[in-house]
């Protein structure tokens, strides 16, 4: 399949002022001890020397709250690499934000957890690669990680934090989905997020190895539906399905530039986690402009905000203000045009071709994982 164009077509959407964003994903660093092949971070990672310093992050948090942000999610890479994490959590908590830590857990210990608890952290989201130790450590490419995760999960609960278990699923671990649900129960988690891999950034390089068959997906959906009924009131289960077997696109981030802000380790302000994958868009930095100005008038945020940018197929669709055109990053990755109809939609002229290719990949023997090699990051 050939890309249609090397760069996106950028059009301004409507001029009406956007509503305030609800949440900020603060990507403190791209450094991480794991090398998960489904990583959604950009192909080109930011080096530690390019990361925003503590004072700049505090200013950004103040500007975010002034803009209307209610939730701050500290992420990475692995956010616990940052020695100033507790200081940033404390600042966000003082500003009145709900704070969430998204972590692999392998660098945490009871002393660090107490520091974060005292700083005002509200919630911890802990990732697991599998329930099988050998498989989990092959996926994350880090020996000893599974044992450490099990220890820290219990320490998280002992420290008094609510716990979400984040299980990223694909063809290598879907057969153990029932075990993952049981793991969340055993760890006294309040919430389990079963998230099929989304194929952007580095994950797109590993699609042929990770993509499940339709049969695997259907079975997983049945397992989740049964567990939701059986465990209602005991464990909340969120379920994120892959776009590759969809007929209609998802409302990606609630629509481009409508509800969500992402700030990269170097300070670029993005409408979504994967937005930098769209070459041809230039993203403003909090080093250069106030956050509010970027949110309201940045050309990159205006490009696909609202409905004016949409191709005719989307613009006349009754779902245009439900799914907001689907995912721009996926459209660009699969067609070469960010303003194309999302190929996840059955109305896209590329839907059948792209999804037939995906089914062929899922039906073949999986190739070896392609791991990042980022020495010195």
Helix (H) or strand (E) holding 240: strand 236-240
- 36 known member of a binding site: yes
- CA 341 to CA 332: how far, in whole Å? 10
Burial 320-345 (b: 16+ CB within 10 A, else e): eeebbbbbbbbbbbbbbbbbbbbbbb
Of 302, 307, 344, 315, give the one whose Cα is nearest residue 327: 344
- 252 known member of a binding site: no
Q: How many CB atoms lie within 10 A of CB 205?
A: 18
Retrieve residue 180's tokens. 């993952």
Q: What is the torsional sign of CA 335, 339, 345, 348?
A: negative
Of 166, 239, 170, 174, give the one whose Cα is nearest residue 204: 170
Retrieve residue 349's tokens. 């002229």
Instruction: For the sheet with 163-169, list strands across it.
Output: 236-240, 191-196, 163-169, 123-128, 98-103, 71-75, 23-27, 260-263, 269-270
User: What is the full DSSP assignment across 91-116?
Assistant: HHHHTT-EEEEEE--TT--HHHHHHH
- 32 known member of a binding site: yes
Q: What is the torsional sign of CA 251, 256, 261, 265?
A: positive
Q: What is the torsional sign of CA 123, 128, 132, 137?
A: negative
Binding-site residues for [4Fe-4S] cluster: 32, 36, 39
Binding residues: 32, 36, 39
């Amino acid at each position: 399949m050939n890309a249609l164009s090397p760069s996106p077509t950028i059009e301004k959407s409507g001029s009406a002022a956007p509503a305030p964003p609800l949440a900020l994903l603060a990507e403190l660093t791209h450094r991480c001890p794991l090398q998960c092949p489904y990583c959604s971070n950009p192909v080109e990672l930011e080096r530690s020397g390019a990361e925003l310093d503590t004072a700049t992050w505090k200013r950004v948090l103040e500007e975010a709250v002034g803009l209307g942000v209610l939730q701050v999610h500290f992420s990475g890479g692995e956010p616990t690499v940052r020695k100033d994490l507790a200081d940033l959590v404390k600042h966000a908590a003082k500003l009145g934000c709900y704070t969430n830590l998204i972590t692999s857990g392998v660098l945490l210990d009871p002393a660090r957890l107490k520091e974060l608890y005292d700083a005002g952290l509200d919630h911890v989201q802990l990732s697991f690669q599998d329930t099988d130790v050998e498989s989990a450590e092959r996926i994350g490419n880090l020996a000893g990680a599974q044992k450490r995760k099990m220890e820290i999960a219990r320490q998280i609960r002992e420290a008094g934090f609510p716990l979400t278990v984040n299980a990223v699923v694909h063809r290598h671990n879907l057969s153990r989905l029932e075990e993952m649900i049981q793991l969340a129960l055993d760890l006294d988690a309040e919430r389990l997020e079963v998230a099929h891999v989304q194929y952007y950034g580095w994950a797109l390089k590993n699609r042929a190895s990770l993509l499940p068959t339709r049969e695997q997906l259907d079975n997983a959906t049945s397992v989740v539906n049964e567990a939701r009924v059986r465990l209602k009131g005991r464990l909340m289960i969120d379920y994120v399905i892959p776009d590759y077997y969809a007929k209609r696109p998802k409302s990606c981030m609630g629509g481009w530039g409508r509800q969500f802000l992402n700030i990269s380790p170097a300070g670029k302000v993005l409408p979504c986690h994967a937005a930098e994958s769209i070459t041809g868009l230039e993203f403003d930095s909090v080093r250069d402009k106030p956050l509010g100005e970027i949110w309201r008038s940045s050309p990159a945020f205006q490009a696909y905000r609202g409905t004016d940018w949409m191709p005719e197929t989307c613009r006349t669709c009754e779902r245009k203000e439900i799914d907001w055109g689907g995912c721009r990053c996926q459209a660009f990755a699969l067609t070469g045009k960010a303003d194309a109809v999302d190929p996840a939609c059955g109305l896209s002229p590329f839907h059948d071709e792209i999804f037939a290719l995906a089914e062929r990949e899922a039906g073949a023997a999986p190739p070896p994982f392609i791991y990042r090699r980022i020495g010195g990051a």
